[in-house]
Amino acid sequence: MAGAGGRAPLGLRRWLSSPAPAPRVCVVGSGPAGFYTAQHILKHHGGALVDIYEKLPIPFGLVRFGVAPDHPEVKNVINTFTQTAHSERCAYYGNVTVGRDVTVPELQQAYHAVVLSYGAEDNRVLGIPGENLPGVYSARAFVGWYNGLPENQDLKPDLSCETALILGHGNVALDIARILLSPLQLLRKTDITDSSLAALACSKVKRVWLVGRRGPLQVAFTIKELREMINLPGTRAVLDPADFTGLESAVKDAPRPRKRLTELMIKTALEKPEEMQAAAAGAAAPREWGLKFQRSPQEVLPSADGRRARGIRMALTRLEGSGDSAKAIPTGDVEELECGLVVSSIGYRSLPLDPAVPFDSQRGIIPNSSGRVEGVPGVRPVSFSDWEKIDATEVARGKAAGKPREKIVDPAEMLQIIGH
């Protein structure tokens, strides 16, 4: 059996040369999910061999390319992943693109199990007019740019405007806002790329709005990231107290993390910081950021010459339902906001890997049942001890009928007995 170009997959060659066949697992993707999978298999399945395939020459996926450069503590997990990669039962094969250099059917023949943990390589689209104008970026591309993801190295975002708008209320949205507004001396001590640092040094952005379709009780960011944003030096938060009216009582019985997060937003909205008073007295206003709620993007507005984004039109929404299941319904009213930079942070989206693997293009996922890919026959070998379970069941059923055994004739039932 050969891969593209007549080669057997690297992991298969390793197995063929090993002294005794052992359970072999292939993990596609070397991000956190891939390494945690490998770690778990090596720990709980003695003797199993794990091969990790990665399309880039370098490992670690989102730990390297997704975690903000000013969050080095989150990247410490790389040390654990490195230990896993050093295991004699684990092999890493970078610069191998599954679906091109080797196919999934080839991997299925070579391994007992193939785990697809290649992540979401695309972003969800807004589906609105103007989203392809210069000045509009996906969060995935923007984060990839400042984190040194090879495919985003030439992004060169235009940071010549004063106001940026980020669509989304998650931690990634806060990361981007923080990077845009952070003092350069803080960023210089991080692993941010030199070219991104140079671009941020020339940035004119001094105001960032984070916009969400729903309300304060539905934000997806966490309290640690919010607190970090609130405490960012030289920057003030602009939160409208009217957005939080009545929420203290509404959140009283909410889970503790949601309650604390909401209370921090309310406290920040009601505070009158010294900077605000200084600004009112005529002093130069510092950089600022704010949260806008119940606004859904309708159109990115072009500049007069039509060559770039100059603003965004948003539909005002009302909420139907409560909690995480609340839905944003347009009210009919609209609002326009001037901004020269728009970053869409509404989630990532997977792409199909190989024609042999089913893919739901509507939802951007591989159809699965509790993680097992649907529509693909998974090769699950039956051991001799598994057969003995089937044998015992046949004998027990036969005994009840006064026979030596009652043969089971349905293979699905046989597999059910052994838990496959």
Q: How high does pLDDT run on average in the chain?
A: 89
**Lookup: tokens for 178:** 């923080």
At 2 the pLDDT is 43
Given a cut of 70, is residue 4 above it in pLDDT?
no
CATH of 10-121+350-373, one of 3.40.50.300, 3.40.50.10800, 2.70.70.10, 3.40.50.720: 3.40.50.720
pLDDT, average across residues 301-309 = 94
For 341-376, what is each residue's pLDDT tens digit?
A: 999 999 888 888 888 898 888 888 888 888 888 877
Q: Where are the domains of the chain?
A: 10-121+350-373, 122-349, 384-417
- So what's the pLDDT on residue 278? 52
pLDDT in the model for residue 5: 45
Average pLDDT estimate for 307-314: 96
Percent of the residues in the chain that have a pLDDT greater than 70, as a whole number: 90
Give the pLDDT confidence score for residue 282 in this predicted structure.
Answer: 46
Predicted confidence (pLDDT) per residue in 115-162, tens digit? 999 988 888 888 899 999 999 999 999 999 999 999 999 999 999 999
**Does this chain's domain 10-121+350-373 share its CATH topology with 122-349?**
no
Least confident of 1-10, 90-99, 400-409: 1-10
Query: What local confidence, expressed as pLDDT, does residue 116 receive?
Result: 95
- Residues 238-267 have a mean pLDDT of 92
Amino acid 289: pLDDT: 97
Query: Is the pLDDT score of 419 beyond 90?
Result: no
The pLDDT of residue 6:
47
pLDDT at 147: 95
214-232 pLDDT per residue, tens? 999 999 999 999 999 999 9
**Per residue in 162-206, pLDDT tens?**
999 999 999 999 999 999 999 999 999 999 999 999 999 999 999
Q: Tell me, what's the pLDDT at 321?
A: 87
Q: Band of the pLDDT at 9, cuts 50, 70, 90?
A: low
Specify the CATH number of the domain 122-349.
3.50.50.60
Give the residue with greater pLDDT, 310 vs 377. Answer: 310
- Amino acid 16: pLDDT: 55
Sequence-separated (6 or more) residues with CB below 8 Å from residue 317: 213, 214, 294, 295, 296, 328, 329, 330, 331
For residue 80, the model assigns a pLDDT of: 96
- Distance CA(312)–CA(339), nearest Å, equals 7
179, 184, 187, 188 alpha-carbon torsion, rounded to 10°:
150
